């Protein structure tokens, strides 16, 4: 996850690449405006058409623990395979609405969830750089503590059920789930909660996929029926060289299709408002996502 160790590693990387903390806000805004697709607009307000020919709206979803707020975006017409998108540690915000819009423009009905709904409505923070401030960490840490593996599993099942009730979703197709940073392991918990519906997951610089705890996400792989796309940051790999091997072994033992690769990029490289956003490596992960979803959803 984006903890003190990761932040320190990324500061070193940023210094070596001539990008300082004072450039973070400018960089994030530029990335959101131009990194994805021509004309991409930040999805604002509660409802409306996007410039990508997709429609987005704020929605409320009943879960066993309350009511979750989320952003639902989909192509203008027809039914489409659904995708649950779990944001990084800074939560649901404009950057992830833009990222969801791009996926919707590729033919998917995308639900970007607020993983902090038990504590507050989104946006909790406005950008990933807010997390690196003391105020942002003080605000988020109790909210993070309120998220449990059991709760995330229940949330995943509730989100799948909600999507299957939407007229824009093709229920004859499998559902996908993508997760970034802390959202990475949530994709596995979602797939385990509804193995009958989740056909593929994509974890990008996912945090804590392999731990020594009895509820480690990698232990869920035998319970799922989804294909695995797991894209690992180079500094995360350096911190835990065995994790990728454990994941590959678990997928092989469960006979699950798996693409597990270390990318030449820092933790956070796929998120468009991250100071370490790497367009070339993010585009590579994006292409692998589309191919995985095309094949398994």
pLDDT digits (tens, 9 = 90+) for 46-72: 444 454 578 999 999 999 999 999 999
Q: Residue 110: which domain range? A: 4-296
Smallest CA-to-CA distance from 43 within 104, 121, 1, 84 is with 104
For 106, how many CA atoms within 13 A lie in the half-sphere containing its CB?
A: 18
| Residue 257 CA from chain centroid, whole number | 20
DSSP 169: B
| E strand or H helix that includes residue 140 | helix 134-145
Q: What integer best gives the mean pLDDT of the chain?
A: 88
Tell me the CATH number at 221.
3.40.50.1820
Average confidence (pLDDT) over 26-54: 47
What pLDDT, on a 0 to 100 scale, did the predictor assign at position 54? 86
pLDDT of 199 higher than 80: yes
pLDDT digits (tens, 9 = 90+) for 272-295: 999 999 999 999 999 999 999 999
Smallest CA-to-CA distance from 73 within 59, 86, 54 is with 54
How many domains in the chain?
1
Token couple for 156: 């995943």
pLDDT digits (tens, 9 = 90+) for 79-105: 999 999 999 999 999 999 999 999 999
pLDDT of 74 higher than 90: yes
Residues contacting residue 26 through CB under 8 Å, at least 6 positions apart = none
Instruction: Report the predicted TM-score, pTM, of the whole model to 2 decimal places.
Output: 0.88
* Contact by Cβ (8 Å): 117, 69: yes
pLDDT digits (tens, 9 = 90+) for 225-274: 999 999 999 999 999 999 999 999 999 999 999 999 999 999 999 999 99
In angstroms, how far apart are the furthest CA atoms of the chain? 49
Average confidence (pLDDT) over 125-140: 95
The Cα–Cα gap between 122 and 199 comes to 28
Between 8 and 208, residue with greater pLDDT: 208
């Amino acid at each position: 996850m984006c903890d003190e160790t990761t932040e320190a590693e990324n500061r070193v990387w940023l210094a070596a690449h001539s990008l300082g903390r004072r450039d973070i806000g400018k960089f994030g805004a530029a990335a959101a405006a131009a990194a994805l697709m021509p004309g991409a607009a930040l999805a604002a307000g509660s409802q409306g058409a996007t410039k990508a020919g997709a429609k987005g709206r704020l929605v409320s979803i009943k879960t066993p623990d309350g009511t979750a707020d989320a952003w639902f975006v989909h192509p203008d017409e027809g039914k489409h395979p659904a995708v649950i998108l779990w944001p990084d540690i800074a939560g649901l915000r404009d950057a992830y609405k833009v990222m969801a819009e791009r996926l919707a423009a590729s033919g998917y009905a995308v639900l970007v969830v607020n993983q902090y709904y038990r504590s507050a409505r989104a946006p909790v923070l406005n950008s990933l750089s807010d997390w690196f401030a003391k105020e942002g960490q003080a605000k988020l840490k109790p909210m993070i503590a309120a998220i449990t593996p059991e709760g995330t599993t229940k949330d995943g099942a509730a989100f799948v059920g909600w999507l299957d009730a939407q007229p824009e979703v093709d229920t004859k197709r499998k559902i996908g789930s993508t997760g970034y940073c802390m959202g990475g392991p949530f994709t596995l918990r979602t797939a385990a909660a509804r193995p009958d519906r989740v056909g593929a997951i994509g974890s990008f610089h996912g945090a804590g996929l392999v731990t020594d705890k009895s509820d480690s996400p990698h232990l869920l792989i035998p319970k799922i029926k989804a294909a695995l796309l797991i894209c690992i940051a180079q500094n995360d790999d350096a911190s835990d060289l065995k994790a990728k091997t454990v994941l590959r072994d678990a997928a092989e033992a469960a006979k699950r299709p798996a693409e597990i690769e270390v990318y030449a990029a820092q933790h956070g490289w796929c998120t468009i408002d991250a100071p370490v956003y790497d367009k070339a490596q993010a585009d590579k992960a994006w292409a692998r996502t589309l191919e995985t979803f095309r094949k398994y959803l």
